Amino acid sequence: MTAGGPVLGPLETWARDWREHGRAEVCEAGTLQQRVDHAVRTLRFNLQWAAVNHPAVDEFARETSLIYRQCEAQVSGERRPRTVPVACPCGQTLRVTLDTPGCRCPRCGTQYGHSELMDLPLAERRIAA
């Protein structure tokens, strides 16, 4: 969101670094969006070169994948998988996600594996009497 923020700052730092190798151009004019676009374009253009020749390409890959994940989380607005309430036959509602490996029902003590949890019916919303 800002020039020194977690997206544009590192990207332009890499662009400046690559410029010293003659492999990128830095353009700090325009809106922040234009600067991000420019930095991404100039880095992508010589990505092949960097993968083979840049001494710190590992660090570059780590940093850009971190930036990518941060952007993705912001765009989707969702960091954690959605919780789904399923009903144990005993009447207990179990809150699971698609990633839950398994769980034990706190009421009747039945142990469920992942696929067994996915087979349980969705719990109906309790209606206040």
Q: At its nearest, how many Å lie between Zn ion and the CB of residue 98?
A: 20
- Shortest Cβ distance from residue 31 to Zn ion (Å)? 56
The SS3 of residue 84 is: strand
CB 2 within 8 A of CB 32: yes
| Token representation of residue 126 | 């309790």
32 scored as a contact of Zn ion (CB under 5 A): no
Rule CB under 5 A: choose which of 17, 57, 85, 92 binds Zn ion: 92
How many other CB atoms are found less than 10 A from the CB of residue 46? 16
Distance of CA 120 to the CA centre of its chain: 29
Q: Which of 26, 27, 105, 123 binds Zn ion (CB under 5 A)?
A: 105
Binding site for Zn ion (CB under 5 A): 88, 90, 92, 105, 107-108
